[in-house]
Chain A
Amino acid sequence: MMPAPPLDARRMRVTDDDRWDLLGARCPACGHTVHPVRVACVRCGRATEVVTLRPVGTVVASTVVHTTRPDVALRPPFGVALVRLVDGPVLAAPVREGEDPAHGDRVALAAFDVGEGDERRRALQVTVAGS
């Protein structure tokens, strides 16, 4: 089966059904690294280059969402964690169902799919497993 295309190509590259890369942008001039990819550096304005980031980091904040808009792909309650990646950038992603990472915990990012049929897209979630 073909892998689902990424929900956001600025965040991840999907290479086959179980392989993917976490993407970021690095400024060749000042070294500032961000996620998701931006075409220009937010610090110095130069053109960035796309880099692969290690999908591991530390939880700095978390919540459990109980109310959301009806068009959101996840049904509450679901967790969201803010993760500081070991490569620097910070990103928020949903937490894998049944897990509840605490602040300061080392976590990893894993791929998971949202949507059905042609609408199926690959996204990222936070997990304590494999970290």
Chain B
Amino acid sequence: MTDVEIAGVGLHPFGRFPDRSAADMVAVAVAEALSMAGSETTRVRAVYCGHGLATSGGGTAAVLEAGVTAPVVNVDAACASSSVALSLAVAAVRADQWDEVLVVGFEKMGRGMLRSARPHDPFGDRLGIEAQPVQYALKASWYLDRYDVKPADLAAVAVKSRAHGLLNPNAHIQQHVTLADVLGSPVVADPLTRFQCSPTSDGAAALVVRRARPRAHGAQVRVRSCRVENQLGAQDPDAGLGDATTARLATAAYAEAGIGADDVDVAQVHDAFTPGEVLRTEALGLCPEGEGARWAAAGRTAGTGDMPVNTDGGLLSRGHPLGATGAAQIVELVLQLTGRAGARQVERTPRTAVSQNSGGGENAATVVTVLAR
């Protein structure tokens, strides 16, 4: 099977950019990724473009304006769109369908609470139960109770996230906060306060994915595994509220990559809300079950800790433009693996990294990716 590398990564800053179109942002991310790879638009054979809210075929138009004329596959898997796009790109290059392709993710978002696209569930929609803060608050309430964890330990995830965001000029939220600030911000759904919820953001990210070159320009980060599963969430009555989908994917991805959880040096996980980071860090086997929040409070998951997680601020502070999020996670890991992460570079340049990206509930998918240099 052909080895696949990520040769270049690019990102348009995340935040609110009312005067910029999706195409404007995609063009910035694509140019940066191609430049790092030492490549150019004419070498791109196909584009896999993730977006969750754009109109039909929205990726095709945005990519064309960025100067890429290769065919575009539009991928909508809600918050996991560009991770699912990456899985398709990796599969195509592995199978020798294409030599070099682009993965792009973007989103333009409005303000206010997101409405999950669930026309088949008027109950959850009309009663506000499908709203993501409510779903995550239920997970948080279960977690705090089950593992005897203090709400302040969960809130520590947001304090750490904001500190990481301050080291990342591309992060949406640039703000120093204390534990008291996080706990004192308005309650959205108990125990989650406003600062424990990710913002809605605009942004774009791009990855050059290609057949690995033995000696070439670019990042030369290998994709060791990229696996997708649909989510059934609470539909499985035997499961607790932990992330069983991620745990299953991690087991398979580590086996495919020939590593164990102990080999992971740095991780990006789907922290749309604080319990998301905790449950998924545990599901990836990066810390013991029930210890994720306490590890955050103890500084162990900080960039300076022994298991750095979401070093760019994660969804909570880097921001969460749905379709761009999965690719942005990979951007950060490639920067970390190649010593390009600047002020937030973790010590002893990491060798192995894992990303975890979740789409909303049963509408979408979970993706776990293992990268190595």
A residues sitting closer than 8 Å to B (CB atoms) are 7-8, 10-11, 34, 36, 42, 60-69, 72-74, 80, 82, 84, 88-90, 92-94, 103, 114, 121, 123-124
Report 7 cross-chain contacts, Cβ distance below 8 Å, ordered by A residue.
A61-B141, A63-B141, A66-B186, A67-B133, A69-B115, A73-B128, A103-B145
User: Which residue, of B126, B128, B142, B241, has the highest number of chain A Cβ atoms within 10 A?
Assistant: B128
State how many angstroms separate the Cβ of B363 from the closest Cβ of chain A: 14
B residues sitting closer than 8 Å to A (CB atoms) are 112-113, 115, 120-124, 126-129, 131, 133-135, 137-142, 145, 186-192, 232, 234-235, 237, 241
Nearest CB to that of B129 among chain A residues?
A92
Nearest CB to that of A8 among chain B residues?
B123
State how many angstroms separate the Cβ of B296 from the closest Cβ of chain A: 21
User: Which residue, of A65, A74, A90, A123, has the highest number of chain B Cβ atoms within 10 A?
Assistant: A65
CB of A84 within 8 A of CB of B237, answer: yes
A124–B138 alpha-carbon span in the complex (Å): 18
State how many angstroms separate the Cβ of A69 from the closest Cβ of chain B: 5
Nearest CB to that of A73 among chain B residues?
B126
A68–B187 alpha-carbon span in the complex (Å): 11
A-B contact count (CB 8 A): 109
Name the B residues within 8 Å of A66 (CB-CB).
Answer: 186-190
CB of A69 within 8 A of CB of B113, answer: yes
Nearest CB to that of B128 among chain A residues?
A72
A94–B126 alpha-carbon span in the complex (Å): 11
State how many angstroms separate the Cβ of A24 from the closest Cβ of chain B: 11
Residues A7 and B128 in contact in the complex (CB < 8 Å), given A34-B235, A67-B188: no
Nearest CB to that of B122 among chain A residues?
A8
State how many angstroms separate the Cβ of A82 from the closest Cβ of chain B: 5
State how many angstroms separate the Cβ of A27 from the closest Cβ of chain B: 13
State how many angstroms separate the Cβ of A41 from the closest Cβ of chain B: 11
Neighbour of A42 across the interface among B115, B123, B135, B232, CB < 8 A: B232
Name the B residues within 8 Å of A88 (CB-CB).
Answer: 237
CB of A62 within 8 A of CB of B141, answer: yes
State how many angstroms separate the Cβ of B143 from the closest Cβ of chain A: 9
Residues A93 and B189 in contact in the complex (CB < 8 Å), given A69-B112, A123-B123: no
Residues A63 and B115 in contact in the complex (CB < 8 Å), given A34-B235, A72-B127, A123-B127: no
CB of B138 within 8 A of CB of A7, answer: no
Name the A residues within 8 Å of B234 (CB-CB).
Answer: 82, 90, 92
A7–B128 alpha-carbon span in the complex (Å): 13
State how many angstroms separate the Cβ of B273 from the closest Cβ of chain A: 12
Q: With A82-B138, A82-B234, A103-B145 given, name 17 new contacts (CB 8 A).
A: A11-B123, A61-B138, A61-B141, A62-B141, A63-B192, A66-B186, A68-B128, A69-B113, A80-B134, A80-B138, A82-B241, A89-B235, A90-B234, A92-B124, A92-B135, A103-B142, A123-B126
Residues A63 and B134 in contact in the complex (CB < 8 Å), given A90-B234, A90-B237: yes
Residues A63 and B128 in contact in the complex (CB < 8 Å), given A8-B121, A84-B237, A88-B237: no
CB of B189 within 8 A of CB of A61, answer: no
State how many angstroms separate the Cβ of A61 from the closest Cβ of chain B: 4
Those 6 A-B pairs whose CB atoms lie nearest each other, nearest first = A72-B128, A63-B137, A61-B142, A8-B123, A61-B138, A68-B128
Nearest CB to that of A62 among chain B residues?
B141
A7–B129 alpha-carbon span in the complex (Å): 13
